[in-house]
Structure 1
Amino acid sequence: MIDPDTLQAGLARVCARAGLGVLGGGAPQRLTGGAVMESWRFAASESAFVLRRAPSLAFMEGRPYGHAVEAALIEAAHAKGVTAPEVVAVLEQADGLGSGFVMRALPGTADPKVILGCDDPDGLLKQAARDLARIHRLRPADVPEGVPVMDYRAAIADLKAQFMEAGGDRPIIALGLRWLEDNCPSEVEPVLNHGDYRMGNLLVEGSALTGVLDWEIAHFGDRHEDLAFGCMAVWRFARYDRPALGLGSIEHYIAAYETEAGVTIEPARFRFWTIYRTVWWALGCLKMAAQWRSGADRMLERVVISRRTSEQELDLLLLLEEDAPQKEREREVAKPFISRARVQPPEGDATVEELVTAVSEWLETVKHRMEGHDRFQLAVARNALGIVAREMDIEYSEIDRQDLSAYFLSGDDSLNSKGLLARLRFDALEMIKVDSPKYSALRVARKKWLGEN
């Protein structure tokens, strides 16, 4: 994390250069959320602003465009009536803050727990559909140079390369990659995709949309991709029963979008992009650990998010099994697994589980001393300890995960193979009960696969 004195001095230089006034006396506040970039709220001459920056310059390597293009893109969307922030300054090298830009702060919250409890979720869903349709009206002539146009097959190939680089040993992801290769649709006239349009990136006050945030992966592509992404199970948070942004039904969301955009949404394309983005986010989670190991960002949240890959594997299997033969879908969940051998401590010694629990309980006692992002990180730390404790009891498959992944990528019988779906189901349940036992889709999967209420 950036040194507080460096942050203060850099913001003072930005404020002076951009004519924002005198930097306020209070320390900038690190905002929670944001799995990729940092956000800091600060005051200057009694006005509130937000700094959005990369955790390091190394973190920007390999990205299709930098923060200057992102800032110009936000300005273009704002000019076209999208509820986007107003960008007031782009960071320069002399500012000493790395890569990023400053926006005028908007009212409202991005906290999904608060937003999903709003008084008028249906009205908010219509506003979200409206803004997404406005984003999709933007064309290359409306935005700065450098915003890429998606080549569908090249994008799938890139995901496959990421998978192999990460070890190529996650069979469910391999199954998803092969499905994408076999079901890739023809390309359509590209529209500007926000790329991350979902709960958590929408700013809301009451039941009113006040801002669309985080434009760093915007690109030109199929409008169905943006629509599908916000409907993924992971972005519904605790409202699995309201699949469209956690606010309502997909049917109502699409109907509102079609009315605003004047187009018809195709169910098959919507399903393709739902599966594509589920694979995409599974690999995005997996990459977090690599970023931590490389030193590009040593934030605790990185390694914990990497363990959320299992959430996407569960969601992916629930999506893909629709194509499996009826007989395989009805087969009982298989348990061809063996427990990991464990080395027990001497009699009377505290166990690993007890040590982890003790640290977690101590962290809870100091929670009241924390605020802002530190309080959020404390919760992440306790989550990490929970994963360690639960992993003591995980069961591992006798199947070679790399061999099975290669089998799926080769396009062999896949889910037509007798009993294979049942094995994958068991494996997915084992992984997620360790990594994310409160994930809302887990209850749905256990009811569907095990008959639990």
Structure 2
Amino acid sequence: MGISADELSAGLARVCARAGLGALSSEPQRLTGGAVMESWLFRTSPPPTPSSEEEGAFVLRRAPSLAFMEGRAYGHATEAALIEAARAKGVTAPEVVAVLAEADGLGSGFVMRALPGTADPKVILACDDPDGLLTQAARDLARIHRLRPADVPEGVPVMDYRAAIADLKEQFMEAGGDRPIIALGLKWLEDNCPPEVEPVLNHGDYRMGNLLVEGSRLTGVLDWEIAHFGDRHEDLAFGCMAVWRFARYDRPALGLGSIEDYLTAYEAEAGVTVDPARFRFWTIYRTVWWALGCLKMAAQWRSGADRMLERVVISRRTSEQELDLLLLLEEDAPEMEKRRLVPDFSMADEVWGEANWGEIATAVSEWLATLKDRMEGHDRFQLAVARNALGIIAREERSIRTLAFQEAMAAEILSGQTTLKGKEVLATLRAYALVMIEADSPKYPSLTDAQARWPRNPPIEE
């Protein structure tokens, strides 16, 4: 549900009174980031137990609408109880002080005590001791994995691997079933699904962006909304995906260091040995998972469940995951196919006459840049998102995006009729991946790696 500033403040005042947090003393400030849930920072006066700068500071975590919570495995009350269970086991998680009630008028969510530090990957990845921070992250993940069903509230699901793959496939077909690289990933998952092991609690979203850090010290593990019981390798692999390294593509473990160091620190804390084959399976699974997660953001925007600008822009990040997925899967192709030149689907930049829609988008983006210094907080973040969206429009003017073969090729891949062993299949998929991401996300770090690996034929002449 949409909510006004007055409604938000009034609702928080009711929560604070009910939970004994003091009187609301500041207007709630929308925090940046958060692709799914909203986060609002607010303060109370007098603080309940003033002992540090963070006392009296709280964060409201809420869904953008009640409709947004439909179909989820559990609600915010269970998530809040899960966080408290993790804290009891020594996990560096925030303290939940109140769960929203219907009478609060704020929808679905809960309030946490604010912790010191930042979740901004750019700041964190520039810390003085990335190796030490990586060890701390491995430690906390091992502690999370010690939790068993008896330790957490009812309603936290246990993952059925085959059912999870089938669900991804259903999501893919509902989204049009016309992305060949995602189809390739789904078929690989079906063909390579490992046997199930004793489930442990998975955080489900353990990666840079959901870790709160002060200096080089881990101060909080955030965003527990998709926690579930499953294979520990899923959590380990997810944080090592290329997308969560941000600008540090060269440091594959959370953008902080090597996978070897991360797994060694984890094994020392958890007392287990990591299986490389399972690690690869879950890396590919989660890359498909996040590709579809990005893809369905547009459907959520269209439905009206969340009309946030960022939603539609994130949907265009699907191409990032397609690129990463192909980089993961292409090792299974024959050497001769790996050596083929990639056809260039891009078009010439020559333009004439009246401005095209790409140039208009560029002009609007340049004007929006002049407003940057007049904005702050979430509005400034949304301005950056808007300029990113306009950049996609401008770049798409110069690419052949809709390729006629997509739906047919995806169907052939899912059926097993087309594989990476086929002549020019890999080269065609590489070309598709490049033309998509060069329009959607030309600064994505994996792109530089792919361009170096995949030499191209001369571009198509108009």
Q: Normalization by structure 1: what TM-score?
A: 0.96
Q: Name 2:21's counterpart in structure 1.
A: 20
Map Cα deviations across residues 31-77 of structure 1 (whole Å, 9 max, x no partner): 01110000000001240000000000000000000000000000000
Q: Which runs of 5+ in 2 are unaligned?
A: 48-55, 458-462
Aligned ranges 1:108-187 → 2 under 5 Å: 108-187=117-196
Q: Name 2:315's counterpart in structure 1.
A: 306
Q: Name 1:101's counterpart in structure 2.
A: 110
2:249–2:445 CA contact under 8 A, matched in 1:
yes
Q: Name 2:460's counterpart in structure 1.
A: none
By how many angstroms is 1:339 displaced?
5.7
Q: Aligned match of 1:449 in 412, 429, 454?
A: 454
1:339–1:396 CA contact under 8 A, matched in 2:
no
Q: Where do 4+ consecutive residues of structure 1 move more than 4 Å?
A: 337-340, 396-399
1:334–1:419 CA contact under 8 A, matched in 2:
no
AA paired with 1:114?
A: V
Q: Name 1:2's counterpart in structure 2.
A: 3
Q: Name 1:30's counterpart in structure 2.
A: 30
AA paired with 1:34?
A: G
Q: Name 2:252's counterpart in structure 1.
A: 243
Q: Hey, what's the Cα distance between the residues in 1 that align with 2:262 and 2:343?
A: 38
Q: Aligned match of 1:418 in 400, 419, 423?
A: 423
AA paired with 2:336?
A: K
Partner SS, residue 296 of structure 1 = coil
By how many angstroms is 1:358 displaced?
1.8
Q: Name 2:50's counterpart in structure 1.
A: none
Q: Hey, what's the Cα distance between the residues in 2 that align with 1:146 and 1:415?
A: 40
Change (3 A) 1:53 1:210: same
Q: Name 2:41's counterpart in structure 1.
A: 41
1:339–1:395 CA contact under 8 A, matched in 2:
yes
Partner SS, residue 374 of structure 1 = helix
Partner SS, residue 395 of structure 1 = coil
Q: Hey, what's the Cα distance between the residues in 2 that align with 1:407 and 1:397?
A: 18
Q: Name 1:392's counterpart in structure 2.
A: 397
Aligned ranges 1:5-404 → 2 under 5 Å: 5-24=6-25, 26-45=26-45, 46=47, 47-335=56-344, 337=345, 347=353, 349-396=354-401, 399-404=404-409
Map Cα deviations across residues 164-204 of structure 1 (whole Å, 9 max, x no partner): 00000000000000000000000000000000000000000
CA RMSD in angstroms comes to: 1.6
Is structure 2 residue 432 aligned with structure 1 residue 427?
yes
Map Cα deviations across residues 79-119 of structure 1 (whole Å, 9 max, x no partner): 11000000000000000000000000000000000000000
**Number of residues paired by the alignment?**
446
2:287–2:325 CA contact under 8 A, matched in 1:
yes
By how many angstroms is 1:326 displaced?
1.0
Q: Aligned match of 1:438 in 443, 446, 457?
A: 443
Partner SS, residue 150 of structure 2 = helix
Q: Hey, what's the Cα distance between the residues in 2 that align with 1:354 and 1:243?
A: 37
Q: Hey, what's the Cα distance between the residues in 2 that align with 1:63 and 1:239?
A: 33
Q: Normalization by structure 2: what TM-score?
A: 0.94
Q: Hey, what's the Cα distance between the residues in 2 that align with 1:139 and 1:398?
A: 48
Map Cα deviations across residues 239-262 of structure 1 (whole Å, 9 max, x no partner): 000000000000000000000000
By how many angstroms is 1:291 displaced?
0.3
Partner SS, residue 416 of structure 1 = coil
Q: Hey, what's the Cα distance between the residues in 1 that align with 2:115 and 2:455?
A: 46
Report which stretch shifted further, 74-83 or 357-366.
357-366
By how many angstroms is 1:215 displaced?
0.1
By how many angstroms is 1:333 displaced?
1.1
1:156–1:181 CA contact under 8 A, matched in 2:
yes
1:175–1:405 CA contact under 8 A, matched in 2:
yes
Q: Hey, what's the Cα distance between the residues in 2 that align with 1:399 and 1:28?
A: 49
Q: Name 2:51's counterpart in structure 1.
A: none
AA paired with 2:72?
A: R
2:21–2:44 CA contact under 8 A, matched in 1:
yes
1:338–1:397 CA contact under 8 A, matched in 2:
no
Partner SS, residue 170 of structure 2 = helix
By how many angstroms is 1:357 displaced?
1.7
Change (3 A) 1:200 1:247: same
Q: Hey, what's the Cα distance between the residues in 1 that align with 2:72 and 2:215?
A: 35
Change (3 A) 1:398 1:41: closer
Q: Name 2:412's counterpart in structure 1.
A: 407
By how many angstroms is 1:355 displaced?
1.7
1:196–1:215 CA contact under 8 A, matched in 2:
yes
1:397–1:427 CA contact under 8 A, matched in 2:
no
Q: Hey, what's the Cα distance between the residues in 2 that align with 1:444 and 1:353?
A: 27
Map Cα deviations across residues 153-174 of structure 1 (whole Å, 9 max, x no partner): 0000000000000000000000
